[in-house]
Amino acid sequence: MTDHPRDFETMLKTLRPALHRYCARMTGSTIDGEDVVQEALLKAVAGREAAGALDNPEGWLFRIAHNCALDFLRRRKRAGQMGTEEELAMVAAPVMPDPDIAAAGLRTFLRLPALQRGSVILKDVLGHSLGEIATITEASEPAVKSALQRGRARLRELAAEAEDAGPPALSEPLRERLTAYVEGFRAGDFDAVRAMLADDVRLDLVATLHRRGKSEVGQYYGAYDAARARWAYAAATVEGRPAMLVYERAVSMDAPAYFVVLDFEGGQVVRVHDFLYARYAMEGAVVRLV
């Protein structure tokens, strides 16, 4: 199937939601998980020719994503942002999917060592076999089975613990800037929204396109302007980061369809991370209205 470039591209698109489910749980973040997926897909495209004939293209792709997730965690640990030695440890230590474990929160998975975490996610969330998990994680089947048992037991222990208070609230200046951005969408005043953009602002319309610069990114708002009757908006945080929730009026005004994460510096928008075409990222996201 993957010998033809079009078939390979189709495989990448088809597996992207499953890759995100895996990477989001490996990193403990739906946003960081998407960044890891993008890195993995770029590496897959760059390495496809050198890989030759693939007996198991899905396993090959998940192995790339697995290694990208571990690399991401190492970088984050070096930056002092998060993580412990246990988080990065590759522990060599009836295997049916467990639906209760599949429902665990993203950050709960992050408290498992890497092999336990990867084994539980691949088995209980994505339904892979022990052999497939061993191929993806580059561990032996006995090590995977042991890690799976230990990981499940630890997740059940963690489920009994009280959840933490979550990320801190936005500062008042940041909340005001976020509110102004969302109000611009609500009022259809996209000139006011464009005025909030930094000169070197970056746009990531996930899984679709990337733009840089105020002029290029400014064109992106035209589609929202043309579809004003379709959408409704709310200011929120996603995993503690400023975000705009987007509701599809004809579908539900109770549950957002997707979100747009915003980065601000000096009161200006420096990055727009729009999940319009990656709605799978809503799964497990920690969302709070502001």
CA distance 17 to 37: 9
Q: Residue 259 phi/psi, 5° resolution? A: -140, 165
Cα–Cα distance, 277 to 274 (Å, whole number): 8
Each residue's pLDDT tens digit, 26-69: 999 999 999 999 999 999 999 888 877 788 889 999 999 999 99
To the nearest 10°, report the CA torsion of 75, 174, 110, 157.
160
Residues 279-290 have pLDDT tens digits of 999 988 889 999
| Domains, the chain, ordered by start | 5-159 (1.20.140.160), 172-289 (3.10.450.50)
Mean pLDDT within 260-265: 98
Q: Which of 21-35, 132-146, 154-168 comes out lowest in average pLDDT?
A: 154-168
Pairing of strands 197-205, 268-274: parallel
pLDDT of residue 166: 60
Answer positive or negative: Cα dihedral of 207, 210, 216, 218: positive
pTM: 0.80
Is the separation of the CB atoms in 173 and 241 below 8 Å?
no
Burial class of 8 by CB neighbour count within 10 A (0 to 12, 13 to 18, 19+): middle
- The CB density around residue 185, as the number of other CB atoms within 10 Å, is 23
